[in-house]
Amino acid sequence: MNAIVFGASGGIGRALTEQLVSAGKHDVVFAASRADPDIDGTRYLNVDILSDESLAAVGEAVRSAGPLDLCLVATGFLSDDNVRPEKSYRHQILAAFNHVFEVNTFAPGLIAKHMLPLFARDARGVFAALSARVGSISDNRNGGWHAYRASKAALNMLIKNYAIEQARRNESFICVALHPGTVDTSLSEPFQSNVPEKQLFSSDQSAGYLLSVLDGLHPEDTGKVFDWAGEEIFP
């Protein structure tokens, strides 16, 4: 069985990929990203996660190597020089909404479209995408960050949908969203000032926690959202 990590050149994605290679449980570990992460023991696949054509080509390459039993989507977007999390509804901009949803919601959806058919029907398989605690509607205490929160909430709904659909195909399949904690990457860097030191994880720490969570999941966990400690995050 094989594994693929989308976003393998990012902080968490790279750490996940390296740890999968080190574990040695997969025949092939595919590293899919725009830039080659140059990770020993992986097979690199260049991909544009917003392109059906590009993802179809990745799917063909993966299919030729055999069935998947793990697909990790470690891509995401929070801010850059042009897009910042909104503190108020007054700051909402359509272009920012479009970009945030494209990366955080639409791209994982397209990835699922091309990767879910590559899993075996008669074995445990896991499709997992990085989400965020702020995507929980019931846990929202502070408001703000409208586009990012909404994009992650929408991603969580897609995960639930895929879980229902895949269960009809394979009762052993697990489809989940994962909150990696606050990780010391470029995504969180502008927002780390108020994070206690012990609550700021390295990419390696977070990846290790997430893979442990995945190892402990059962089919009845499909469709849910879990944090790095394995605690369920409710919608």
Question: Is 36:30 a contact under the CB 8 Å cutoff?
Answer: no
Residue that wins the pLDDT comparison between 59 and 190: 59
**How would residue 184 be classed by pLDDT, with cut points 50, 70 and 90?**
confident
- Listing DSSP states for 74-141 in one string gives -------SS----SSGGG--HHHHHHHHIIIIIHHHHHHHHHGGGB-SSS-EEEEEE--GGG-STT--
| Mean pLDDT score, 92-115 | 98
pLDDT tens across 4-18, in order?
A: 999 999 999 999 999
pLDDT tens across 134-170, in order?
A: 999 999 999 999 999 999 999 999 999 999 999 999 9
- Please state, in angstroms and rounded to a whole number, the distance separating the CA atoms of residues 33 and 216: 27
Half-sphere exposure of 184 (CA within 13 A, CB side): 11
- Please state, in angstroms and rounded to a whole number, the distance separating the CA atoms of residues 231 and 228: 7
**How would residue 20 be classed by pLDDT, with cut points 50, 70 and 90?**
very high
Per-residue pLDDT at 172: 97
pLDDT tens across 206-223, in order?
A: 999 999 999 999 999 999
Mean pLDDT for all residues in the chain: 95
pLDDT tens across 189-199, in order?
A: 666 666 666 67
- Please state, in angstroms and rounded to a whole number, the distance separating the CA atoms of residues 193 and 200: 10
Residue with tokens 């992986």: 42
Per-residue pLDDT at 196: 66
Nearest to 225 by CA among 185, 179, 158: 179
Question: Is 145:136 a contact under the CB 8 Å cutoff?
Answer: no
**How would residue 98 be classed by pLDDT, with cut points 50, 70 and 90?**
very high
Percent of the residues in the chain that have a pLDDT greater than 90, as a whole number: 92
Candidates 3.30.465.10, 3.40.50.150, 3.40.50.1980, 3.40.50.720; CATH matching 2-233: 3.40.50.720
Nearest to 203 by CA among 130, 146, 98, 133: 130
The pTM for the full model equals 0.95
Q: Where are the domains of the chain?
A: 2-233
pLDDT tens across 136-146, in order?
A: 999 999 999 99
Question: Is 23:88 a contact under the CB 8 Å cutoff?
Answer: no
